[in-house]
């Protein structure tokens, strides 16, 4: 059967006579991958010193090596652009030069039309925490997700992969978590509300670029569904051992905002809140879920779209070309232009001045670091949220967050039945830490008990703020949740 090799009339093809046939190279098709040179068994192809129209060095046959070519056709098979091919004398083949207008066009297969869907699924649903967070993100206006699948956060990525194209958004599965968070930052600067979701090892890989987000004041959301660690640890089981990493995982002075839901309903609600905080303060925000909440399936009520409060970025008011993209108002939060709006947008991880240009001097560092920290510190009262349960007359306060708070609430009720005046302070905002609330509580209660699924992390913060009260700890290394009986037994021990 004859094979026709087509060269467009305006293409410059070079032909060599070789043993048993001819070798053609169409230099302007070449994209410089070098596969033909690498895989040539006789090594008769070399890189040309000339550039083609695309800016690459196409291959060429060494003139004194033409007789060594065996016309094997490997170069033809390996070239992704069909810029090189050999024609054997023994086969019925033909090389045709045709005018460009007659050049055959192969149409790409049509992409199936994506059915448009609602962005806010008002009503009652039965979702797990991962899916609820995904829907919360979409309801908040998230239109870009970049991530890499990792247990136990994969359901968030899977659900968004299905849903976000239906609302005009983009889902990209990246090669790893480093690329994922980098893509999220890039998307945020183009104007998209952007997020990623990960766990343990992936969260570790993201730390440098979380620091870049803090330094460049890029609003975005990172969901970390905590699992047992360190390293690979317990991929499918619960832990709460990333709370300090969320605060101090990246280097240098910075502040971070992190929230911890304790139900699928809060996964939905707090994901929206995370985006609002990210855009209110121009900062990366972390949703610190845990595996139990992420995989817990419960009733989730989604309100009407009109009742969901959304916060957008502060837009620059100055004239493009003159406005300074890091010049803050009295609230210390600068307006944020997007690339393409006409403003001079220079984004760098280097210490930079109000224009965004590198300025690696002590005075600039002093001014910049104080501002990016103080914009969170001075608004901590607006950011920090806690839940108080039966603390009015409590003598022992149990501090918990995430899935553990649900267990503690039951244990507090059991303790009350036994005449023990116990209460619970639930940390909804993990960072900034609820220091004022702990200090105020220390004036009322006699003792504190901190319950976490780790070997002692937030207990250190409570100890710092609860002085001179006794602070006790009930930990669990991961893999399972405390039972109410476990917590009750510790309350009774501490209460004596």
Q: How confident is the model at residue 107, as a pLDDT?
A: 52
The DSSP-derived string for 173-199 is E-SSHHHHHHHHHHHHHTT-EEEEEE-
User: What SS3 class is residue 451?
Assistant: strand
Q: Is the pLDDT of residue 106 over 50?
A: no
Q: How confident is the model at residue 10, as a pLDDT?
A: 65
Domain spanning 386-495, CATH class: alpha beta
**Of 147, 260, 149, residue with least CA distance to 206:** 147
Domain 3-102, CATH among 3.40.50.2300, 1.10.357.10, 3.30.70.20, 3.40.920.10:
3.30.70.20
pLDDT in tens, 226-235: 999 999 999 9
**Of 394, 402, 373, 377, residue with least CA distance to 444:** 394
Q: 1-15, 22-36, 327-341, 407-421 — which one is most confidently predicted on average?
A: 407-421
Q: How confident is the model at residue 351, as a pLDDT?
A: 95
Contact 412, 389 (CB under 8 A): yes
Q: Do 123-307 and 386-495 agree at the fold level? A: yes
- Give domain 123-307's CATH superfamily: Thiamin diphosphate (ThDP)-binding fold, Pyr/PP domains (3.40.50.970)
**Of 279, 281, 222, 290, residue with least CA distance to 250:** 222
Q: Where are the domains of the chain?
A: 3-102, 123-307, 386-495
User: What SS3 class is residue 452?
Assistant: strand
pLDDT in tens, 233-272: 999 999 999 999 999 999 999 999 999 999 999 999 999 9
Supply 467's token pair. 């002085």
State pTM to two decimals.
Answer: 0.79
Q: How confident is the model at residue 318 (pLDDT cuts 50, 70, 90)?
A: confident
């Amino acid at each position: 059967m004859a094979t026709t090799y087509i060269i467009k009339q305006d293409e410059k093809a070079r032909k060599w006579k070789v043993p048993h046939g001819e070798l053609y190279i169409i230099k302007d098709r070449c994209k410089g991958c070098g596969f033909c040179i690498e895989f040539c068994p006789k090594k008769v192809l070399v890189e040309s010193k000339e550039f083609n129209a695309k800016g690459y060095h196409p291959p060429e046959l060494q003139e004194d090596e033409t007789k060594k070519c065996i016309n094997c056709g490997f170069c033809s098979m390996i070239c992704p652009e069909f810029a090189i091919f050999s024609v054997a004398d023994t086969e019925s083949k033909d090389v045709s030069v045709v005018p460009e207008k007659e050049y055959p066009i192969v149409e790409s297969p049509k992409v199936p039309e994506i059915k448009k869907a609602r962005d806010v699924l008002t009503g009652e649903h039965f979702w797990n925490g991962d899916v609820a967070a995904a829907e919360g993100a979409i309801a908040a206006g998230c239109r870009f997700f970049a991530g890499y699948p990792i247990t136990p956060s994969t359901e968030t990525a899977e659900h968004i992969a299905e849903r976000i194209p239906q609302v005009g958004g983009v889902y990209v599965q990246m090669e790893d978590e480093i690329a994922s968070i980098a893509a999220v930052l890039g998307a945020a600067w183009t104007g998209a509300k952007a997020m990623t979701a990960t766990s343990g090892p992936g969260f570790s890989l993201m730390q440098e670029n979380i620091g870049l987000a803090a330094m460049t004041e890029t609003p975005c959301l990172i969901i970390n569904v905590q699992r047992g660690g360190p390293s690979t640890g317990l991929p499918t089981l619960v832990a709460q051992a990333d709370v300090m990493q969320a605060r101090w995982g990246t280097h240098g002075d910075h502040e971070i905002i992190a929230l911890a839901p304790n139900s699928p309903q809060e996964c939905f609600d707090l994901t929206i809140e995370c985006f609002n905080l990210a855009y209110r303060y121009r900062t990366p925000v972390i949703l610190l879920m845990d595996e139990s909440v992420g995989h817990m399936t419960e009733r989730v009520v989604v309100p009407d779209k009109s009742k969901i409060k959304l916060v957008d970025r502060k837009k620059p008011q100055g004239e493009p070309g003159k406005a300074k993209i890091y010049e803050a108002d009295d609230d210390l939060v600068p307006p944020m232009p997007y690339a393409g709006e006409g403003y001079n947008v220079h984004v760098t991880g280097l210490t930079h001045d109000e224009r965004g240009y590198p300025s690696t001097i002590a005075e600039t560092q002093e001014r910049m670091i104080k501002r990016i920290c103080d914009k969170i510190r001075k608004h901590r009262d607006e950011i920090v949220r806690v839940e108080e349960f039966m603390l009015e007359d409590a003598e022992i306060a149990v501090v918990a967050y995430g899935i553990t708070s649900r267990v503690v609430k039951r244990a507090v009720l059991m303790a009350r039945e036994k005449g023990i005046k116990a209460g619970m302070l639930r940390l909804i905002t993990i960072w900034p830490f609820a220091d004022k609330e702990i200090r105020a509580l220390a004036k009322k209660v006699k003792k504190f008990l901190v319950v976490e699924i780790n070997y002692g992390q937030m207990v250190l913060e409570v100890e710092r703020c609860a002085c001179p009260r006794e602070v006790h700890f009930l930990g669990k290394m991961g893999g399972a949740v405390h039972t109410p009986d476990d917590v009750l037994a510790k309350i009774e021990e501490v209460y004596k």
